[in-house]
Structure formats: structure tokens, C-alpha cells
Structure 1
Amino acid sequence: MSAPLTIFQVAGRAMSAQLVRMNTTASNLANAGGVAGSAEAAYKTMKPVFRTSFDQASSLATVDVEKVVTAGDAPTKRYDPSNPLADKDGNVFEAAVDETRELVDMMETARSYQNNVEVMNTAKSLILDTLKMGR
């Protein structure tokens, strides 16, 4: 049986999961508008899949990234015969990244990360105040 989780471990794991989310969002935004010569080669939006676990010993729930999956719409086919990446029919395939959704995800992720920083700061402050009471 493992030791009970602390609030610092719970918040740290949540921050780590949000960091993965931020990195996938940044990758999606960086590849928005990118083109390829086939639908298979075109960039596909990535999203993390979170897994929640309950720790019986501490009665705390944690979150981890289980995996990162591709999601969203299929690449958009566009006729552009002058593009060096065009296929034999003159088509290129543009990554279907919804930039508005990605920016909303980025703001949501940043807020969640900041909330977990605040949880850690509050827990630290409460521990220090409790130690001062003993003096």
C-alpha cells in the first residue's frame, strides 16, 4: 500500500496534466494553416485524454494524462496546383485547426494551471501559519 497523497502532489499532477494540454494546444496553433500533399500527411489536431484516480488513503482525487489523441475535423482539400506539395490532381490538404477553440483552450488551461498554483500557495501558507501557532 502506498503512502497517502498530499495536496502538493495532487496539485502538482494537475499542473503537469495542464502543461501537456498547453503543449498540445500550442502545437495545434503552430500548425494551423499548414498544408500537406495528402489527407494522411496533413496535421491533425491533438487533444490530451485525462484520467481521474481516487486515492483511498488520502481521500483525494488526482488527474493524469492517459494519452494524447487526434481529434477534430478532417483536413480541408483545396485546389492549388502551383503549390509544391500539391498531389497529382493539384490539391493540397490544409490542417483543420479551429484557432478560436484552441485559443479558448489555451486560456482555460492557463487559468486551471494558475488555480493549482494558488492551491499550493494556500496550502503552504496554512502549514506555515500552523507551525507559527506552536511557538
Structure 2
Amino acid sequence: MSLFNVMEISSTGMKAESVRLNTTASNIANANTVGSSYNETYRARQPVFATELQRAIDGQSMGAGVQVKGIVESDAPLQVEYAPHNPLADENGYIYKPNVNVVEEMANMMSASKAYETNVQVADTTKRIFRRVLQLGQGQ
């Protein structure tokens, strides 16, 4: 594995964690929204990651890394609340709240932030190694 591969892996990791941070922020922003029907209510979303290592081994790509396969909605049940005076209540007096757990989302955001930060540090260290190798080539 060359240092160029390390930079590629680090950059794909940063892109993936950026998607995870944005998805988590969207979940938190919609945590207190209310829907008037079960099908129209916001559902928590999570990104799905996959490794590109096998493709690199098979010769289909130049390096390894992380690939964002997509974003899936949670299948956890929504919160149903009886609130007949709410203007968004359905004909039976129920409102529907998202299946977002804010505590889990905050933990997910902290984890994504740390993973992003780690990838930045890997890229920075690799850059310093490149610089040092160039200095060695100049006889310093």
C-alpha cells in the first residue's frame, strides 16, 4: 500500500462521515416535527457504508476506501399521541411523531465527528510524511 492509497482511504472516510453527520443533523432537526398521518411522518435515516477493499483486491479500482451505498429509513415504530385539539390531528384525533431518538443521534454525531477528525489527522500525518520524504531526497 502506498501513501497515495492512504490519502484516498482517508478522503473517502471523510466523505462518508460527512454524509453521516448531515444525516444525523437532519434527524435531530426533524425530531420534534409532527405529522397528520402515519405515512407522511418523518422517519429517522441512517447511511449505509461499504468497504471498497475487495474491489481494489480484484483490480477493479486503484485503491481502497469507504463507499456510501445509500441512506435507509428506520423501520422502528412512530410515536402515536392522542391530541384531538392539535390542528394536525387525523380524523381520530391522533398525531404522529418521528421515531428519532435524540440521545442516540447525539451519540452518533459525536462518533461521526471523531471519525471525521481521525481521518483528517491521518491525511495530515501522511502529508507530513510526504514532505519529509521530499526533504530526504534533497539531502537534508
TM-score, normalised to structure 2's length? 0.88
Equivalent position of 1:85 in the other structure: 88
Tell me if 1:45 matches 2:44: yes
**Equivalent residue of 2:51, what SS?**
strand
Tell me if 1:104 matches 2:107: yes
Aligned-pair identity (%): 34
Instruction: Describe the superposition over 1:25-73 as per-residue Cα deviations: whole angstroms up to 9, x where unpaired.
Output: 0000001121101111111000001011111369953111101000152
Structure 2: distance between partners of 1:23 and 1:74: 23
Unpaired segments ≥5 residues, structure 1: none
- Larger strand proportion of the pair: 1
Equivalent position of 2:134 in the other structure: 131
Tell me if 1:63 matches 2:66: yes
Structure 2: distance between partners of 1:74 and 1:30: 19
Q: Is the 8 A contact 1:53 1:61 kept in 2?
A: yes
Q: RMSD between aligned alpha carbons?
A: 1.6
Structure 2: distance between partners of 1:105 and 1:61: 24
Unpaired segments ≥5 residues, structure 2: none
- Larger helix proportion of the pair: 2
Structure 2: distance between partners of 1:53 and 1:8: 14
Equivalent position of 1:18 in the other structure: 17
